[in-house]
Chain A
């Protein structure tokens, strides 16, 4: 299947507004977003998701047994997909520098270890990260738009975004306004995403849905489509600040959404589950979901990321077990 995917970090291409109106096959964005009620009708007209069925599918896929060579490949891919994250009130330059060092050299004792995809920090930590990662391929992602709650005026959220971009972030992870979504003000949510996308300039935009607050899979599907209509480059499950975060069924529903979006419009959108992904087992299960829902095109750090922090060390431990044959322990892996 051919794709018309745009690269995730479009250097130099100008920020644009919403996806061009009738350029996409069968999705008339301008018509759909002409009013809140037409947007509502479109989103509510998408196929529903049966909770039990979706959870059963995710559960069956998680019984796949991924061993030996397949496991080694999956571990390396997972490492290369990590957005290594620190989003704490107590973050300091020292903490961020240590994280960046880990991102560049996850396992100092094994130079064949892939580097991670990006680090993810608060906007005011971006300059530290940019400096520490200068010259490397590791991206700098920043949260923005009054992360994690999203409860602030649009002006404040846009200023937050612009600060991060100006400081050198090449990826922005925004949060949608869940209050507006849950009270049915879909067009407001849409307009905000469009505005943030504009403020991103050449940075690419991940849209955090905060699925734990959306609760139903129907809402997750609708919010996914809303984010893609508004031009998001990635849809992301969660802020990681509440539970549940990135469950397998939620990730499944979002993968189905990007699959259907590409079928309808030709545009490829990435997916990032974040929060609660702690072990290699978790990560491999997610990659199986990707493989059997959307296939090869998304098995790539440009189109799929894992938002995690402690996951990395578990991946490294499993990687070591596969290469040395012995179980390892925490002493042998660096703290970030």
Chain B
């Protein structure tokens, strides 16, 4: 498959495909329950495809309510009889083993992730998978140090955690959920997204290679119904969800009155704020990274560019010039910058909201490029002349679409940035240190990136204000979600 090479005429990068030979995808997968692969009893099967080519990759089991029940029971048994009795340092050593195997199989995991999700191999290889291993290493080291975490002496785990994760960073979201849960002494039942189950299923194999006691990790694949069955199961003590705000609210309602602890990591409509004294070239990189990294399928994406009016012309010109060097195409080509949209459903939503943007009067600019004829693709798009009243400034598009607004003063930037029900992240670009700190202080967002964007680290707590959810993942703070404190 060709990679659309926008802009260059002389230096034509030849195809540089990462080989698929390293992955061995089975034709079909069962559910991973109690350390074994089992067929669903009352569920069915569904297919997972590669969104860049629409080829079927594998058949995956759908866990019905009975299967979810089996999984929760297996997790409970493992908790009661093995995991809660194991000395903390031994738990830590299991997690170290898993972390090491993740590093050993890094390339395989990256290729599989790109195939199933559609994201460029460069990102899964250089960002996703290294962070996954790092997350397990970090939490492995917490297992026997919980006394020092600031939650009192001998904080206890909650028990069994039900975890539902999205399709945008499948393996990374799995790591964010499973690593701290296990480190704190819980056992888990995790449901990956229905369009991206494969790396979770490979992770189950890795648990077997690490000799993890059966039932400590259970993977139940399926769609919305499976997720609901898991979240509503009376046998779990903890619900952790990353996904849309709409579903997050449903979970908050359905867990009301149950005593289950809940953490939610939901949507966002982050403002990326560029002042006239910003280091322009790096700010443009930050804007591009903010909304086009991972095809914009990022909850904390900088989807609103707030540029100081005095710098508008220069920044927009630099931005458009920079966008013309982006390469869209085959996710397995090592030079691809923009991969496929994860599903037809998501592509439809992006298209619809873009049309809304146009009909509401914003000016649309799209990078000129040829799209492959199979698969789901959307070229990077920029809307200017956007105001807070536009739907494309308020609703999360979750695609490579940037809405550009202007501001005059720092106060105005803050007001516009905060004028949203969301509050996950924000970006600030300026050369002035005190302004960075003033903005950070005033922004109602769980993560503020100054002169950078989309940076993640297992030590750095991540999570939202307001309707972007509650709870933090990463660092010492991330332990709280999985302890009875």
Question: Which of A48, A69, A299 is within 8 Å of B279, CB to CB?
Answer: A48
Q: Report the nearest A residue to B285, measured CB to CB.
A: A57
Within 8 A of B (CB), among A272-321: 287-288, 291-292, 295-296, 299
Does B389 lie at the interface of the complex (its beta carbon under 8 Å from any beta carbon of A)?
Answer: no
Whether A56 lies near B279 (C-beta < 8 A) is: no
Question: Which of B11, B126, B282, B335 is within 8 Å of A57, CB to CB?
Answer: B282
Within 8 A of B (CB), among A47-74: 47-50, 52-54, 56-57, 63-71, 73-74
Whether A50 lies near B282 (C-beta < 8 A) is: yes
Question: Which of B12, B282, B334 is within 8 Å of A63, CB to CB?
Answer: B334
Instruction: State A69–B7 Cα separation when bound (angstroms).
Output: 18
Most chain A beta carbons < 10 A, residue from B9, B281, B285: B281
Q: Inside 8 A of A213's CB, which chain B residues have their CB?
A: none
Question: Which of A53, A65, A73 is within 8 Å of B282, CB to CB?
Answer: A53
Whether B8 lies near A291 (C-beta < 8 A) is: yes
Instruction: State A292–B327 Cα separation when bound (angstroms).
Output: 11
Whether B16 lies near A66 (C-beta < 8 A) is: yes
Does A256 lie at the interface of the complex (its beta carbon under 8 Å from any beta carbon of B)?
Answer: yes
Question: Least Cβ distance of A269 to chain B in Å?
Answer: 17
A52-B452, A63-B126, A65-B334 known; A291 vs B282 contact (CB < 8 Å)? no
Whether A295 lies near B281 (C-beta < 8 A) is: no
Whether A70 lies near B11 (C-beta < 8 A) is: yes
Does B78 lie at the interface of the complex (its beta carbon under 8 Å from any beta carbon of A)?
Answer: no
Does B21 lie at the interface of the complex (its beta carbon under 8 Å from any beta carbon of A)?
Answer: no
Q: Report the nearest B residue to A70, measured CB to CB.
A: B14
Q: Inside 8 A of B280's CB, which chain A residues have their CB?
A: 47
Whether A69 lies near B14 (C-beta < 8 A) is: yes
Instruction: State A54–B281 Cα separation when bound (angstroms).
Output: 8
Instruction: State A296–B5 Cα separation when bound (angstroms).
Output: 13
Q: Inside 8 A of B451's CB, which chain A residues have their CB?
A: 50, 52-53
Q: Inside 8 A of B8's CB, which chain A residues have their CB?
A: 291, 295-296
Q: Report the nearest A residue to B326, measured CB to CB.
A: A292
Q: Inside 8 A of B13's CB, which chain A residues have their CB?
A: 64-66, 70
Q: Inside 8 A of A66's CB, which chain B residues have their CB?
A: 13-14, 16
Q: Inside 8 A of A49's CB, which chain B residues have their CB?
A: 279, 281-282
Q: Chain B interface secondary structure, helix, strand, loop or mixed? A: loop
Whether A295 lies near B285 (C-beta < 8 A) is: no
Within 8 A of A (CB), among B315-364: 325, 334-335
Within 8 A of A (CB), among B427-485: 431, 451-452
Within 8 A of A (CB), among B104-155: 122, 126
Q: Inside 8 A of B334's CB, which chain A residues have their CB?
A: 63-65
Q: Inside 8 A of A256's CB, which chain B residues have their CB?
A: 281
Does B10 lie at the interface of the complex (its beta carbon under 8 Å from any beta carbon of A)?
Answer: yes
Does B286 lie at the interface of the complex (its beta carbon under 8 Å from any beta carbon of A)?
Answer: yes
Whether B285 lies near A56 (C-beta < 8 A) is: yes
Instruction: State A296–B8 Cα separation when bound (angstroms).
Output: 7
Whether A67 lies near B282 (C-beta < 8 A) is: no
Does B181 lie at the interface of the complex (its beta carbon under 8 Å from any beta carbon of A)?
Answer: no
Instruction: State A236–B448 Cα separation when bound (angstroms).
Output: 38
Number of interface residues of B (CB under 8 A): 26
Q: Inside 8 A of B183's CB, which chain A residues have their CB?
A: none
Instruction: State A296–B449 Cα separation when bound (angstroms).
Output: 34
Question: Least Cβ distance of A205 to chain B in Å?
Answer: 26
Instruction: State A47–B16 Cα separation when bound (angstroms).
Output: 36
Q: Inside 8 A of B281's CB, which chain A residues have their CB?
A: 47, 49, 53-54, 57, 256
Does B300 lie at the interface of the complex (its beta carbon under 8 Å from any beta carbon of A)?
Answer: no
Q: Report the nearest A residue to B280, measured CB to CB.
A: A47
Q: Report the nearest B residue to A299, measured CB to CB.
A: B10
Q: Inside 8 A of A53's CB, which chain B residues have their CB?
A: 279, 281-282, 285-286, 451-452
Whether B278 lies near A47 (C-beta < 8 A) is: yes
Instruction: State A57–B325 Cα separation when bound (angstroms).
Output: 13
Interface code B263-279, partner A: CB below 8 Å = 1, 0 otherwise?
A: 00000000000000111
Question: Least Cβ distance of B119 to chain A in Å?
Answer: 15
Q: Inside 8 A of A295's CB, which chain B residues have their CB?
A: 7-8
Question: Least Cβ distance of B332 to chain A in Å?
Answer: 11
Instruction: State A50–B8 Cα separation when bound (angstroms).
Output: 27
Question: Which of B16, B279, B325 is within 8 Å of A67, CB to CB?
Answer: B16
Q: Report the nearest B residue to A263, measured CB to CB.
A: B317
Question: Least Cβ distance of B160 to chain A in Å?
Answer: 41
Interface code A17-58, partner B: CB below 8 Å = 1, 0 otherwise?
A: 000000000000000000000000000000111101110110
Q: Inside 8 A of A299's CB, which chain B residues have their CB?
A: 10-11
Q: Report the nearest B residue to A49, measured CB to CB.
A: B279
Q: Inside 8 A of A68's CB, which chain B residues have their CB?
A: 14
Q: Report the nearest B residue to A253, measured CB to CB.
A: B281
Question: Least Cβ distance of B383 to chain A in Å?
Answer: 24
Question: Which of A54, A67, A291 is within 8 Å of B11, CB to CB?
Answer: A291
Instruction: State A53–B13 Cα separation when bound (angstroms).
Output: 25
Most chain B beta carbons < 10 A, residue from A47, A54, A288, A296: A47
Whether A296 lies near B14 (C-beta < 8 A) is: no
Q: Inside 8 A of A296's CB, which chain B residues have their CB?
A: 8-11
Q: Inside 8 A of B11's CB, which chain A residues have their CB?
A: 70, 73-74, 287-288, 291, 296, 299
Within 8 A of A (CB), among B258-315: 277-282, 285-286
Q: Inside 8 A of A288's CB, which chain B residues have their CB?
A: 11
Q: Inside 8 A of A54's CB, which chain B residues have their CB?
A: 281-282
Instruction: State A256–B13 Cα separation when bound (angstroms).
Output: 22
Q: Inside 8 A of A71's CB, which chain B residues have their CB?
A: 14
Q: Inside 8 A of B279's CB, which chain A residues have their CB?
A: 47-50, 53
Q: Inside 8 A of A292's CB, which chain B residues have their CB?
A: 325
Instruction: State A158–B280 Cα separation when bound (angstroms).
Output: 38
Question: Least Cβ distance of A160 to chain B in Å?
Answer: 36
Question: Least Cβ distance of B2 to chain A in Å?
Answer: 14
Question: Least Cβ distance of A3 to chain B in Å?
Answer: 15
Q: Report the nearest B residue to A52, measured CB to CB.
A: B452
8 contacts between A and B (CB under 8 A): A47-B280, A48-B277, A49-B281, A57-B285, A67-B15, A69-B12, A70-B14, A292-B325
* A-B interface, 5 closest residue pairs, ranked by CB to CB distance from nearest: A53-B282, A65-B16, A65-B334, A70-B14, A50-B282
* Other A-B pairs, 6, CB within 8 Å; known A49-B281, A54-B282: A48-B279, A50-B451, A52-B451, A63-B126, A67-B16, A69-B14
Give me the interface of A with B, judged by CB distance under 8 Å.
47-50, 52-54, 56-57, 63-71, 73-74, 256, 287-288, 291-292, 295-296, 299
